[in-house]
Structure 1
């Protein structure tokens, strides 16, 4: 069985040891390395070749935003970054998501949620908290151009709206009475047309452009 390799990045040793204990207890997950600052991440990634990086947002020297930007600009799309934060309404989280992180995880999350989050992003899905991301995106509304020129088909637009609610490919397939592979094709087309690295960036673009209206105040 191929196990999911995880790199832990946090400046607090106690946080790292707690995460390691939780993740190493799972048969399909193994912690392959640790880093105390974003500056250490590139070297650790080259050495350990993780599948998922659990990245603290706030660190003293190189924070999680800059570390995510540098890391994902230098590696292929198979590496996933999951940012870890104390507050879900933290603008630093939003910046990390815009930089290419696949989702975020609250530090108060329980062991089952942490394990599920790692498995979700490792499988290529995004870990979205739609209400929180929508609130954050509302602060940046209309900073992206509209999607009219993206050339989305009616079905692709429908899939994008469902992606923004946090549904997985399987859940979208059930909702639209389509096959999962068909949904994957639509998602791939949406990402290509929006020039998005992944589902998270596509959803952020949808919110910022006004394609999906901001939440009621």
Structure 2
């Protein structure tokens, strides 16, 4: 029996996943969580074999940070990212936080079942628009990180910006004013000598800013 924990901030999504996966006799849904903080706290009590994790959970610890923390505390537990994001930045960061699987929410239900079974067998299961060759290059790469000129607060703002948070949402997450967020963003672009959001995204990927915990 494979023990599965479902993590998504939408109740209807969790219930739908539960109904789907309970149709497979070798799977047992041991719990549900609405955010990453709660999921990490539940790990010791529920002892899942696999965590099926959403990425975008604004009310708590997001999927990247939660995967990283689960990997640190419970290295034997497998994680499968289930998300609507098919962009390279999200796939690459999932590789960097050592997620075992990555599939899209518009996939057929059998694909999620297959992902769960295969990651438990020690395989990596990524089904995205990014080619397997590129993913293997990321896995095998030993990228050197350059020292960052940014403060911890500025790194947090870069991270949330790249994840798609609006200024108001960033302000709420970090308990600062919207004006402070705007000032930080201006200073960040000047300090890094960047002109566009695309350049900022590439900088964030290279320096693994999406792994940062808030």
If the length of structure 2 is used for normalisation, what is the TM-score?
Answer: 0.60
What is aligned with 1:37? Answer: 35
What is aligned with 1:132? Answer: 130
Q: Which runs of 5+ in 2 are unaligned?
A: 145-205, 207-214
Q: Is the 8 A contact 1:91 1:136 kept in 2?
A: no
What is aligned with 2:93? Answer: 95
Deviation at 1:90, TM superposition (A): 4.6
> Is 1:69 matched up with 2:60?
no
Deviation at 1:105, TM superposition (A): 1.1
For residues 96 and 48 of structure 1, do their structure 2 counterparts lie closer, same or farther at Cα, with a shift above 3 Å needed?
A: same
SS for the counterpart of 1:97 is helix
Distance 2:113 2:69 in 1: 26
Q: Moved runs in structure 1, 4+ residues, more than 3 A?
A: 133-138, 142-146
For residues 131 and 13 of structure 1, do their structure 2 counterparts lie closer, same or farther at Cα, with a shift above 3 Å needed?
A: closer
Deviation at 1:130, TM superposition (A): 7.5
How many residues get paired?
144
Q: Is the 8 A contact 2:8 2:53 kept in 1?
A: yes
What is aligned with 2:121? Answer: 123
For residues 108 and 130 of structure 1, do their structure 2 counterparts lie closer, same or farther at Cα, with a shift above 3 Å needed?
A: closer
> Is 1:53 matched up with 2:51?
yes
What is aligned with 2:11? Answer: 13
SS for the counterpart of 2:130 is helix
Q: Which runs of 5+ in 1 are unaligned?
A: 147-207, 209-217
If the length of structure 1 is used for normalisation, what is the TM-score?
Answer: 0.59
What is aligned with 1:160? Answer: none
SS for the counterpart of 1:132 is coil
For residues 130 and 16 of structure 1, do their structure 2 counterparts lie closer, same or farther at Cα, with a shift above 3 Å needed?
A: closer
Deviation at 1:25, TM superposition (A): 1.3
Deviation at 1:117, TM superposition (A): 1.2
Distance 2:55 2:134 in 1: 16
Distance 1:143 1:25 in 2: 39
